[in-house]
Structures are given as structure tokens and as C-alpha cells.
């Protein structure tokens, strides 16, 4: 096992998944290093970069001070997201929790650490290759499920983020994120293992479990690993312009 394979083994152990070697097929390949999986976005022209930076700042300020729905009454702050401003990978969760609300950053704490390990297992570095956001930018009290009218009020922010980021692939983590992004009440199990598309840009979207759920239900980590490999393989196909039927083979 080479250095990359050894590193992947450590990541899988970190997220509690036994290492095994598939017999054949694309999933058998070792996860490439982050730089190979998600090359850095090409440098933008200075004028375009300045305009994008201004649009990001306007968005950040709007979310920070947003009063579009009643959640602004109980939150500490609006949480826009975190990560590089142009990236191929976008992870979308449900909403900030208590710690995220306090710190102003999505996916911190134990669930955030597990998400980081999951991403590393497919060669992605949270700070370099992935932008992380939520469907809702403000914390629902007591971490209750978002209400449809709250999602409707908040979703335009995410749409603007996606327009700025122009990701090649979205990883929706958890039932709430998946159902709200896809406009369905189908259970998570039925949404996994296939390629969906989101928004006007028809961005390919793959569904997996929320790391907070996986902390409570570690028996499903193996399924999450299948989802991650599926997403990684899809990304590699997208990078080579060779997406097929969109179903796991």
C-alpha cells in the first residue's frame, strides 16, 4: 500500500469504517490526492475577481442581518458558509446548530470533524477544495426541523451562493437538506445512489447521510462510504465529460 493508500486507510479508520478492497470496478481505485481530485480553480481576471468579491460581501452582509423569516429573532447570527469562493465541491447541510450559531461557521464540533474525515477519505480538504453551507442560514430553536416557509425565504441565498461558486457537484448531507433541495418527501434511502440535479445550472447532486446522524447510527457509516465513492466517481466522470446514466453500477 502506497502513501496515498495508507492515508486513505487512516481516514477510513478515523470515520469508523473498516478498510476493504473491492474486487473490481472504478470504486477499487485509491482516492487520488486532493490536488488531483479537485484541481484549484483557474485564476480570475482582476476585475472579475473584484466583482465576485463584492457580490460575496454583499451576500454575507445580507445574511448576517437578514430578517426575512422569524428565525432572525432567536438566532445569534446568520451563517452564510465557509470555504474557497470558487470550488468544484459544495456540501449542503440542514441548518446551523447551537455551536455553529455561536461561532458563525457551519459544521463545527463533532459532526464537523466527522464531515472533515469523510471528505478526506475521498481526497478532499475542507479548507482547500470544498465550500460548506446549509439550506437555512439561521438556527431553528431547539434544532427543530425547518418549516417550509423558512426554507422558501432562505433558499434564494443558497441559489446566489451556487451562482457565485459554480460547483461541479453538490453533496447534500442529511434527509432535510436532500428533501428541501430536491422538493420531495422521499426517504433518504430512496434518494441515495443516484444523480439528481439542482437549480438553473443543473448542478449534479448526490445525497448521503448527515454526519450527526452517523454519530448516532455508526452502523450506517459503510453506506455513507458507498455514497462518497459514488460522488467521487461521478466527479471524476464529470471532470472527463463522461457522465453515464447517473446510477451506481
Distance from the first to the final alpha carbon of the chain? 26
Task: Work out which of 8, 137, 196, 229 binds ligand SF4, going by CB under 6 A.
Answer: 137
Q: By CB under 6 A, is residue 223 in contact with ligand SF4?
A: no
Residues binding ligand SF4: what is the number (CB under 6 A)?
Answer: 13
Q: Which is nearer to ligand SF4, 37 or 161 (CB)?
A: 161
Per the CB < 8 A criterion, the answer to whether 135 and 92 are in contact is yes
**Smallest distance, ligand SF4 to C-beta of residue 204, A:** 25
Q: Which stretch binds ligand SF4 (CB under 6 A): 120-128, 132-140, 200-208, 212-220?
A: 132-140
Q: Give the nearest distance from C-beta 127 to ligand SF4 in angstroms.
A: 24
Task: Say whether residue 72 binds ligand SF4 (CB under 6 A).
Answer: yes
Part of the chain binding ligand SF4 (CB under 6 A), chosen from 133-141, 186-194, 212-220, 241-249: 133-141
Q: Please provide the DSSP assignment of the chain as one string.
A: --HHHHHHHHHHHHTT------SSSGGGSPPPPHHHHSPPPPPPPHHHHHHHHHHHHHHHHHHHT--SSGGGGT-S-----BS-SS-SEEEEES---HHHHHHT-SS-HHHHHHHHHHHHHTT--HHHHEEEEES-SSPPGGGPPPPHHHHHHHHHHHHHHHHHH--SEEEEESHHHHHHHHT----HHHHTTB-EEETTTTEEEEEE--HHHHHH-GGGHHHHHHHHHHHHHHHHHHHTT---SSB--
Among 12, 38, 78, 192, binds ligand SF4 (CB under 6 A): 78
Shortest separation between residue 183's beta carbon and ligand SF4, angstroms: 18
By CB under 6 A, tell whether 63 contacts ligand SF4: yes
Out of 122, 136, 173, 177, name the contact with ligand SF4 by CB under 6 A: 136
Nearer Cβ to ligand SF4 (69/176): 69
Nearer Cβ to ligand SF4 (68/120)? 68
Contact residues for ligand SF4, defined by CB under 6 A: 63, 66, 68-69, 71-72, 78, 136-138, 150, 153-154
Amino acid at each position: 500500500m502506497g502513501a496515498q493508500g495508507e492515508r486513505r486507510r487512516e481516514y477510513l479508520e478515523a470515520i469508523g469504517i473498516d478498510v476493504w478492497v473491492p474486487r473490481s470496478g472504478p470504486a477499487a481505485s485509491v482516492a487520488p490526492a486532493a490536488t488531483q481530485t479537485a484541481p484549484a480553480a483557474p485564476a480570475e481576471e482582476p476585475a472579475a475577481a473584484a466583482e465576485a468579491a463584492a457580490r460575496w460581501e454583499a451576500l454575507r452582509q445580507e445574511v448576517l442581518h437578514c430578517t426575512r423569516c422569524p428565525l432572525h429573532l432567536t438566532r445569534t447570527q446568520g451563517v452564510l458558509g465557509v470555504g474557497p469562493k470558487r470550488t468544484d465541491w459544495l456540501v449542503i447541510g440542514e441548518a446551523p446548530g447551537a455551536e455553529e450559531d455561536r461561532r458563525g461557521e457551519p459544521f463545527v464540533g463533532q459532526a464537523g470533524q466527522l464531515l472533515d474525515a469523510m471528505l478526506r477519505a475521498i481526497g478532499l480538504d475542507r479548507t482547500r477544495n470544498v465550500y460548506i453551507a446549509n439550506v437555512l442560514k439561521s438556527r431553528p430553536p431547539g434544532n427543530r426541523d425547518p418549516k417550509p416557509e423558512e426554507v422558501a425565504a432562505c433558499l434564494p441565498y443558497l441559489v446566489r451562493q451556487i451562482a457565485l461558486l459554480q460547483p461541479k457537484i453538490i453533496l447534500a448531507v442529511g434527509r432535510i437538506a436532500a428533501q428541501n433541495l430536491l422538493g420531495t418527501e422521499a426517504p433518504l434511502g430512496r434518494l441515495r445512489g443516484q444523480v439528481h440535479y439542482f437549480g438553473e445550472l443543473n448542478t449534479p447532486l448526490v445525497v448521503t447521510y448527515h454526519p450527526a446522524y452517523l454519530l448516532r447510527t455508526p452502523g450506517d457509516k459503510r453506506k455513507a462510504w458507498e455514497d462518497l465513492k459514488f460522488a467521487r466517481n461521478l466527479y471524476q466522470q464529470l471532470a472527463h465529460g463522461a457522465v453515464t446514466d447517473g446510477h451506481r453500477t
